Structure 1
């Protein structure tokens, strides 16, 4: 490798490290739950960088939020392992429910919930103001649907019902997780069991 090439490689590594540290700082700030943390300028100050440095790495706030979402998606890629071909339907549903239940209180999940709460809730407005962020969220949705389809692909279940279940499970689990965080007066283990039973019955009924 030439001296110029080696220097460029070192520069690229430094740039990658800077970008990674910025993303980790952004996730840590967002995970506090403070709505004011959803500010690219504030995150720049937290990491001791100028807004210009953040813009150099991500372009703008839209690019930063899209990169934050992409980073968490990469870290979640191996959360759902391929289904055991011998596992029955109930076990597979239970695994999905339990994984989401524990994962939704993780630091990355809290960060994303805080970010989503601060972004426009109307899809058209989100796409207009934050097109890259909207595209990343849409990619998450497609990825989740593919995960659920793969989890039950080798079983004799109605694929349309699998799609329906995939659509409502995240919201249902956020509700149960919210109850846990608020101090529920209900038995949440029983709630998860009831949700699992309902999903199994619906998929078997197809």
Structure 2
């Protein structure tokens, strides 16, 4: 994969502002339309620019895609933490679900990017474990602070794996009733974990 970061526009506030504007337009397109048929040409149309303008500001289509998916992921994490509030671990995780499935946060794109990481881990490693590493601190912050670090890490990994599985099932045409049942089972497991002290 090409090195992350923009190229010739670096170093000026005007160039950075334009880069952010272009990136935001691409993020909105991805959130609405997903990754299927994503290309530099499609990104340029969404941004109201030419592909040459995008290549002036980004190191290539992979760089643009990675940065756009990162932006969607950060929005999702920030909003999830904002709605999680306080309460039990189970109630806080339950509060995340509507955000995780909200189209405004590119739910399909983020799950589709996991597929890219499986399909081509060399090119899209950032969508694999690196994405996991971005979610784990948020999930760790939801765990009771008096838990041992190892316990918090284990529970956060379980929550992440379960939510990711439910989200992937949802995107691939899963049974909504089954997904809801899986979420309820996760929440019950979290309640038991918290009650166990």
Could you tell me the TM-score, scaled by structure 1's length?
0.67
Tell me, yes or no, if the aligned pair for 2:23 and 2:68 is still in contact at 8 Å: yes
- Indicate the RMSD between aligned Cα atoms, in angstroms: 3.5
Query: What is the alpha-carbon distance in structure 1 between the residues aligned to residue 163 and residue 187 of structure 2?
Result: 13
* Deviation at residue 176 of structure 1 after TM alignment: 7.0
Q: CA deviation at 1:165?
A: 1.4
CA contact 1:104–1:110 (8 Å) conserved in 2: yes
Correspondence 1:108 to 2:105: yes
Shift of 1:63: 1.0
Question: Larger Cα Rg: Structure 1 or Structure 2?
Answer: 1
Where 1:126 maps in the other structure, the secondary structure is coil
The alpha carbon displacement at 1:202 in A equals: 4.5
The 1-side partners of 2:19 and 2:185 are apart by: 43
Which of 163, 176, 183 aligns to 1:170? It is 163
Aligned length: 182
Is the 1:120–1:126 contact (alpha carbons within 8 Å) kept by the matching residues of 2? Answer: yes
Unpaired runs of 5+ residues, structure 2, are: 1-10
Unaligned ranges ≥5, structure 1: 1-10
Identify if the C-alpha distance between structure 1 residues 98 and 173 changes in structure 2 by more than 3 Å, giving closer, same or farther. farther
Cα distance between partner residues in 2 of 1:114 and 1:194: 21
Partner of 1:201: 192
| TM-score of the two chains, using structure 2 as the length reference | 0.70
Aligned-pair CA distance for 1:55 = 1.1
